[in-house]
Amino acid sequence: MSVLPLVFTSGWASGINAYAVVLLLGVFGATGVSDDIPETLQRPEVLAIAGALFLCEAVADKIPYVDSAWDSVHTVVRPAAGAWVGALLAGQSGSLSDVAAGLLGGSTALASHTVKAGARMAINTSPEPFSNMIVSMAEDLGVGGIVTFAMFHPEAAAIIAAVLLFAGLVVLFFLISRIRRFLRRRAQRREERKLASQVERTPD
């Protein structure tokens, strides 16, 4: 069976929480749930690092503005992780080119990361912090659920991931104006702080 559905699903999930994907796939492989998981993902050091970084993300992802800073840093990390996992899965299966799987996993991860980062910017325009926590927990549960489901029903999981990705891109399109206002206000506050500091340093 082609590994294409699993590559697509893991790429989508990597764009949201790459460390959770690596950790889950590694655990599923190490515990014998699936024989399609490469040994690289099952190595103890990989699982330990992924677990530690997952805990860091679980905290940072629920704090307003910190989550957006975290997303900015992971603009490269998540697509790279999606490409890496996709290439490993293809190498294990042999039914898909490593390069093709890497491109698919990386591009899908970049798309879902864009949706996640954009949605967080829009959510951060709200003054209360609870929406960040709720959305973050929903993302964690969604990634865990879809990746687990993909172990047993890869095609169905890929369809769900595709629908979620498309829906996210549509929602993001309508949130663009709100995100622009948020970025303008943040830039304005930065300029105000800069001017205030210059005034404080100016002698009377």
Is 189 inside a domain boundary?
no
How high is the mean pLDDT of the chain? 88
Tens digit of each residue's pLDDT (9 = 90 or more) over 48-76: 999 999 999 999 988 888 888 899 999 99
Is 73 inside a domain boundary?
yes
At 1 the pLDDT is 52
Tens digit of each residue's pLDDT (9 = 90 or more) over 31-48: 998 888 999 999 999 999
Is 193 inside a domain boundary?
no
Phi-psi region of 134 (alpha: psi -120 to 50; beta: other; left: phi over 0): alpha
At 59 the pLDDT is 92
More confident residue, 131 or 128: 131
* CA angle (172 as vertex; 170, 176 as ends), nearest 5: 125
At 14 the pLDDT is 96
More confident residue, 172 or 17: 17
Q: What are the structure tokens assigned to 104, written together?
A: 């698919």
| Percent of the chain scoring above 70 in pLDDT | 94
At 125 the pLDDT is 74
Is 164 inside a domain boundary?
yes
* CA angle (47 as vertex; 46, 48 as ends), nearest 5: 90
Is 186 inside a domain boundary?
no
At 43 the pLDDT is 95
When pLDDT is averaged across residues 180-199 and rounded to a whole number, the result is 74
| Percent of the chain scoring above 90 in pLDDT | 58
Residue 123 binned pLDDT confidence (cut-offs 50, 70, 90): confident
At 82 the pLDDT is 95
Residues 6+ apart with CB under 8 A from 154: 1, 3, 5, 6, 9
At 204 the pLDDT is 55
Spatial CA neighbour of 84 closest among 109, 66, 65, 58: 109
What's the domain count of the chain?
1
Is 120 inside a domain boundary?
yes
Is 191 inside a domain boundary?
no
Count how many Cα atoms sit within 13 Å of the Cα of residue 143 in the half-sphere of its side chain.
27
User: Containing domain of residue 56, as a range?
Assistant: 4-173
Tens digit of each residue's pLDDT (9 = 90 or more) over 141-176: 999 999 999 999 999 999 999 999 999 999 888 877
Q: Scan for tokens 């009377």, then name that residue.
A: 204
Is 25 inside a domain boundary?
yes
pTM strictly above 0.85: no
